[in-house]
Amino acid sequence: MAIRGPSIELHRPAPLLSGGRGETCLQKKPFLVQAKRLGGLEKASTRGAQESGQPKKRAPLIRGTVSPPLPVPGNIPRPPYVGTKDAPEIAKEIQMHDKESIVHMRAACELAARVLEYAGTLVKPSVTTDEIDKAVHKMIIDAGAYPSPLGYGGFPKSVCTSVNECMCHGIPDSRELQDGDIINIDVTVYLNGYHGDTSKTFLCGEVDEASKRLVKVTEECLLRGISTCKHGTSFKKIGRRISEHAERHGFGVVECFVGHGVGRIFHSEPIIYHQRNNRPGQMVEGQTFTIEPILSMGSIDCDMWDDGWTAVTTDGSLAAQFEHTILINRTGAEILTKC
């Protein structure tokens, strides 16, 4: 589950996005992000040359009815934030693991991966995102785990479902999926005191080639970001690798949501930027964090719905996201959120 990153100064005129309900912003001084930007004509030319077909025209995303939160059996342990209205601040603690805690992290992440795989089988035209939420909720509690998003800063559901132009944090509701939609499902489980966090963008029915390419390139960006990771590597290499691949295919990398440390705490340092940046810091063996790039066909800026969660592209263009939780070791990174 992505978090809103700190406000940053960009090398282009742009409004700075501020925090609000359901958003967790670091209270730090802005820093400069040295990002190479394609101009509007360059971007249009690149995309026009590279895209195979145009994305299908879709009606703007409209919210449906949100049903009440689902109950969780009393014997299932809750994360500390459950029952509070405000999302906790991003913890400064770097989450390191010994052999015992790695076992717990693997178990939580494997469960999250299995739940996500199952959720993907439910993606079909006429299925509602609320139905997906109910199925995910049941699978998680049947495994003795807690759905981490439920009650996080007041989030009312057990999973995030982000359709079409929704970048992330979509709230499951009564809207039926349509043929040609794309949907990101973001699953986090809390099992034996540890969070496992993962997401994937799925295709619903017959999806046009341009949208398929966005989804494919986004997943490739995630895997390229992970491929840079090992003990001693600078965090900024992740953003550079992701940006290079996205720009090569004419897509923009969303800057206002970031990856994060994860483990006993849902959201902690390090903050993982997916765009080019000069963020200091190096990876350390035994550390766990998420990488979760969001790519857009158009604007990388977002509008926030008044529910305080749903973030959509300002121009209505499609966005896709993929996420894994990884464990840093001496020679590389282990993807924990795999079945």
Query: Which residue ranges make up the annotated binding site?
Result: 169, 186, 197, 260, 267, 292, 323
Residues 118, 333: Cα–Cα separation, whole Å:
25
Beta pairing class for 311-313 and 166-168: antiparallel
* CA dist., res. 100 & res. 229, Å (int): 23
What angle in degrees, to the nearest 10, is found between the helix axes of 129-142 and 99-121? Answer: 140
Binding positions for substrate are: 169, 267
Q: Is the peptide bond before 270 cis (omega within 30 degrees of 0)?
A: yes
Strand order in the sheet with 166-168: 166-168, 311-313, 302-304
The dihedrals phi and psi of 152, each to the nearest 5 degrees, come to: -75, 110
**Helix extents (H) in 228-288:** 236-248
Contacts of 252 (CB under 8 A, 6+ apart): 246, 295, 296, 297, 298, 299, 300
Residue 21 identity (one-letter amino acid): R
Closest CA to 105 of 186, 196, 189, 187: 196
Helices within 195-286 (DSSP H only):
209-227, 236-248
- Does residue 305 contact residue 314 with C-beta atoms inside 8 Å? no
In the annotated binding site for a divalent metal cation, the residues are 186, 197, 260, 292, 323
Rounded distance between C-alpha atoms, residue 339 and residue 114, angstroms: 6
